[in-house]
Amino acid sequence: MIHKLDIAGMVCPNNVFLAPLAGYTNHPFRTMCMRLGAGLTFTEMVSCKGLAYGSEETKKLLYCGEESPKAAQIFGSDPAVMRAACESEALAPFDLIDINMGCPMPKIVSNGDGNALMEDLPLAEKVIAACAKSGKRISVKFRTGVSPERVIAAEFAKLCEGAGACMITVHGRTRDKLYAGEPDYAAIAAAKRAVSIPVIANGGIWSKEDAERMTDETGADGVMIARAALYRPQVFSDVLGREAPPMRELFFRQLDETLALCGERFTVVFMRKMAAFYCKGKKGAAEYKRRLFACDSVASLRAAADAVFPAEREGGSYE
């Protein structure tokens, strides 16, 4: 199942990817997942209109380092604005630009963005083609459809390839399912058979066994892990068959790197959320979360996390 993946000349060290996760896949988190084995990581989705308006908050989402390869995800529905974003200095460092055509959230769909584009195939095709004209590698992440009555994964996959996409990621659920229920393996398999470009499968992957089932049943070229990475980023090491470092080591390094990049105010709020994810399932988790969310400084957060993640060896270390 595990192998290098060539995407239009961009060679990923393996085919186990980190999904773009709004509000979470900032640079320190992406870097941690790469150390744990992720073959490619994506920024959280970035508004092309925000880039066009010169929003500094939008640009912050695109902070990256020298890591390679790396990908950014964008959203929007105006072909000209989307192409301009792909050609912008802000996106220049990225090896791949992914277009979000899967987000089911009402505030995104109501603006005609995200999964709404699967209801307007001519516009979706124009958006992809415009972005491809920028000269950047373009991929598209989409769902199997809007509803169970209209599953169009194979048709949409062909549209993406024809418009110039060099990779697609298929989330195996329709919009109405949000993030619940078993993924539609058959629909992903149909999309894979319909195109010659790499197909990445997404949805319901929480373990090595899930990843293996996904590739076995769909024939996909790789998998994309989403929510599982928030609860246990070591999932990448698990899938790759590597020894993983303990959560304590991961948390404190992530805390230090987030503080250095983002400052104390953001770090406290963000890392409280991350610690709450990481302690899910631990004995006393409810009390740990109460303590964590009472923290108002990095110092108090360190003290609380010291109790949440005791100094015990859970596995190997990483560089």
Catalytic residues: 103
Residue 66: Cβ-neighbour burial (10 angstroms; 0-12, 13-18, 19+) = exposed
* Paired residues of 142 in beta bridges: 101, 170
Token digits for 26? 């900032």
Contact 293/276 with Cβ under 8 angstroms? yes
Name the DSSP letter for residue 42.
Answer: B
Q: How many CB atoms lie within 10 A of CB 262?
A: 18
How many Å apart are CA 304 and CA 295, to the nearest integer? 8
Contact 148/176 with Cβ under 8 angstroms? yes
Q: What SS3 state is found at 200?
A: strand
